[in-house]
Structure 1
Amino acid sequence: MDDIYNEIENKFKNIEKLLKSELIGQDLYIKNLISYIKDKTLKNEKGALLLVGEKDTGKKTSIRFLVEEMYKDELIESDNINEINLDTYNFKLGYNAFLSDLHEKLKSKSKCIMFKNIQDAMGEIVNVISELCLNSCFNLNDDYIIKNNVFVKADEENREETNDILTSEKIHKEKINQLICNNKFIVFTSDDKNIDLEKVFGNNLIDKMLYTKDLDEKERNMVVRRRVTETINNIKEELALDIMVDLNKDESNKEYFGVCKYLQESYKKDSNLSISEYVIYKLNNPLRNLVIKENIKVNSRLFIYVENDEIYCKVDSQSYKLSDYTTPTLEEAKYKLNSIIGIKELKEFIYNVQNNYKVQNIRERLGLTTSKISMNMIFAGNAGTGKTNAARTTFEYLNALGLLSRGVFREVSKADFVSENTNETAKKTMEVISSAIGGVLFIDEAYSLCESEDDKVGKEIVDALLKGIEDNRHDLVVILAGYENDMEKFLSINPGLKSRFPNIIHFEDYTPYEMYSIAINIAKSKGYKIADNVEDDLIDLFAKNQISGKNDLGNARFVRNIIENAIMDASRKYLQDKQKKIDLLESHNFNFKVKAKFNLEERLKNIIGLEEVKNLLRSQYKLIVAQEKRKSVGVET
């Protein structure tokens, strides 16, 4: 007996050593985790364990690694872990979907079930899990049958269908009224360090709760560097490539710049991606796609570097932007959507689309009629409110959901619909539509397609566009974008437009606080920080210039101009005084008197004739703009 005990003890010591080399900064957590699992193993017991800590501290990784090593050492019968994400069942019939998924996991040979996001689970689902943890058995309130892998109540209303299912050769032949958990570890993970145990779980559900340690900046840098190095080494080995990466380690302070610094600073901790998943999203997947799509030859030399807030890959003399080769997963698309400042209406609409997609899948599995909704959209808002970027992100989200058959994104304007021969307008329009079938067609400044009742060519474009949309309504998503008022006028030109575009998404002007957040992001992307004492003055500047409803303001474009002018001023003053910090934008670098520019051409196009007057206004306006730019960088005028 002592020999068996010592053997198990030694195996866990070795696993602890391996796990400590795998996870950065988590020695105490690992020690406590190993102690708990070892104790349960010696007693031939399983238990309920809650792991709490911020992202990238190894909660899920530690369990996966531990189970894998225990299997190698014959301490456990399977190296498989069943994982269930509990925030994916928050919709009608979600409870049924959860029961069917849980039933399948409980029947497997796996000795560990890991539940993610327990704090977001429905009350009914938490009750099921609680009973399983306490009693290893949960008695269902109703009898259920399994139809197309979904639990369905075997009640009187479904008696005939139930009998058919129970007599089928292909279907589970017994009614199910309980779920049984046979000797499995149940692990919960949460990123919320303030989780209310009693509120979420009730009393006595968890027999051990462990906290991972928050990573400091140096440790987080080490995680990023390790993941980047692992990614590059794997690709080098698998694809036989010679890859160099711009890491630029600074020995004086042990920090990393180049690719690692970019990934560290562009990552958002409040996202649903871990830093490891973020490296896969930004570096691993697009780099692999690039090699395939551009037919990069074996033994080619690649150089990975950062420029203008983008990761590039240089092959011979050709440079490729990696973001052009991303094919985001659903988690990655969700991360990108949540990273965008503002656009609340669009986020809500896309999440509703996702929920409907889940429900329709359940209905299809239950043999019920499914319903497809129109996803054609109008993005209405002022300049600089992010409509174009939002359109690309919407495409990525819909594609990740599996709602697009080809994954095509086509961005066009009026110039793509017209040709020298006006008789070919309809044909040209249909060619544009055909190129986007199976994906998303984004038409920017869509109101310019037909600007008045007298625009015959424009009317022909609209008629052909409506026909193409109708003919391909189940395999094409069209997004029209433009100024609010202009889009209202455009919709009135043809009654068919409103019915084909039922989803109008309003892009509100950014608030001053949102503009400040955008300013921080723009500065960071250019390698600068904004001094803390500038915040109030910048917000005040944005508040004075951001008048709700005025479509001649720049929104994010105005913010970009402010930051770029501040950078120019900082560069000039740094050359005059080398004691100043080279990457800090201070109060004296900003021109707090600058005014947001209005769009002169947008105003002039509404005036008929008077060309000489217009040209005079244009020349005067250019002089004013030039003077303002000189003032903004500290040059006397």
Structure 2
Amino acid sequence: MADYRRRKEEEKEKLMEKVFGKDAPNRRLTEEDLELLRANLLDIDSLSPEWKSIKENSQKLQEQTQQMLNNFTDADLDRLRNEIRKDFGDQLPVETQEELTVIHQQMSLNSKYEDVEARLNEEVLCQKDYNHSLTVAFRRPTIMGVQPSGLKNSILIIGQKATGRHTSVNLISRLLKEQELISNDELSFIDLSQYSGKEFEANLVQDLYTATHKSAIIVFDNLETISANFLPTITEIVTDGQLTLSKRYTLSNKQLVETATSLVKDTVKTISFKGKYLVFMTTLKVEKLLEVVGARFINTMGDVIKTKDIVKEDLEVIYPVKLKAFRKKCMDLLKIDIKASKAVRTYLNDNFIDRENVRYLNNFFDRCYEALAEYKLKNLTDEVISLKISVKDNQIVFIKDQEESKLEELLPHVLENAKEEAQKELDQLVGLEEIKKYILSLEDFYEAQKIREKQGLKTSEVSKHMIFTGNPGTGKTTIARVLAKYLKAIGVLSNGQLVEVSRNDLVGKYLGHTAPQTMQVIKSALGGILFIDEAYSLYRGTNDSFGLEAIDTLVKAMEDNRDDLIVILAGYTKEMKVFLESNSGLASRFPNQIEFPDYTAEELYDITVIQAKSKGYRLHELIREPLTEYYRQVQASDSVRSGNGRLARNMIEEAIIHQSKRIIADKDAELDLIILEDIDFKIKSDNI
């Protein structure tokens, strides 16, 4: 110690001589000397290699000290206490006691957060880096204090679906509560996609108020769908730690109730989020999210962390865990003892689909369980059934005593029946042969992409959106409805509904109403097809701000939901061409343009026969030639409106009325037969 002090004195003297001259150590420093010393501090590295070494290694020493604290155990702390008692007795200096208390608290926190991270790694598999970052994000306020806003932390989680985002946050909430690091583990989820317009402001305010009063952690899901109306609201929360309400609210049965008068006492003016963890989730990458929420919002985040996509190699870790849970479920609920051959793991590896993530295995075991439930219903017994899952001819099979049952044969064939039904509907449609071929070719295309994906080859990301052009009554809506069923049956769409709308359903009546109204329609079509008839009416020129707003909202929704939404724009050929030319960016998003030709006279006759049959009638054979010729004459008089199915429908409905009068007068007439005299061959404008 004496040598060290001597060296430090020598360094001090050298420093003073360097700056003030040789007589400096023997005189008192003036204010002028001190200013000169401060100005020359940057030269101290030239004085001594030892000094320079100390300066350069200071950061390393600090890191090593922190590492030592991290590795310090309770046993280490007890040994340190005993050694200090030997030197100082039981009466430790106050400063030493305080330092030991800080060390003990730090060690306790280290141990708790290490346990939390270890448990995360046990249950949220193949996300080690993410789990570590998530743990750090929740620990941050214990080291750095709360944010200037008063929030404990604001955390942005970026990742695709089925990568463990929700599972991890639910789990860490429970683990932090077990370690007494948060007050409660009840999460509040605010799904931002549910608040699309200003009319939902009261709902959002109520949900935010409820969340702050029951949860230490509040999760804002689907950040990428946030309405522009509420982005300032969320930004204010993360910036200020509170929300100043724009309207007066009072409490009634723990519910916020809007009040118009200022005379009410105890009104709620703000909602405080101070002391809360706010977690925001999105599937968008940062550069895309910037376009939605802006840089200011993202810069307020204390932590931005990402889950990784699950790849084929991760199945080696995840599969055994999922299999164990599946076996337990089968035994507990079905009394089926399951064993799986090694071939199953190979099968899953070979058929792995990128971007499915953990959902790939979840779907597989869900299908297996559904099949085994059907097996159990057909083989009712109180005894435990032993089955083995294996693979034969690239198909999953269940084996019991050498007897094999294929997975696909056990599953209810709802989708297969739906596919056959859709194909049958297509076959029954008159004409439209090229359009039918195109629709049926879609299955081959999507099946080919799945095969390429399984083999690790690049897949073609093609737009599914379409434009149907043609005159009214040429089958556009009918084809769209069958297409929705068919794409659902082959697994391209999740629901398969057809939502048919026009301008009035999308465009609002006042400023700020159009975007929310359009989003509501889009939400109702998710998983199916949104069919916009007379789509050209959406845009009525540069002064049509409402129409442009609807188009902008539609384009954004198409991008955000490209995997589970198909939009079809329909209308007259000429008007649609002008519409697309005036919206060039829109045209590029609809590469599949299908022209619906007018029906020929022969096709109109066939449609008439089908219409009659659907109503329980049949046409006399003598009707064919004169009715076909009639259709030719009508088409010649108005080629735009007459070559459509509505003409045939109107014709048969009118014939049924005439037939009713005839059979009342003729008691012997066949009740289901329409004859030549029942047909009115006069060409009338209302027929077309």
TM-score range, shorter chain: 0.3 to 0.5
Report which of the two structures shows the higher radius of gyration computed on alpha carbons.
Answer: 2
> Which is bigger in relative contact order (C-alpha 8 A, separation at least 6)?
1
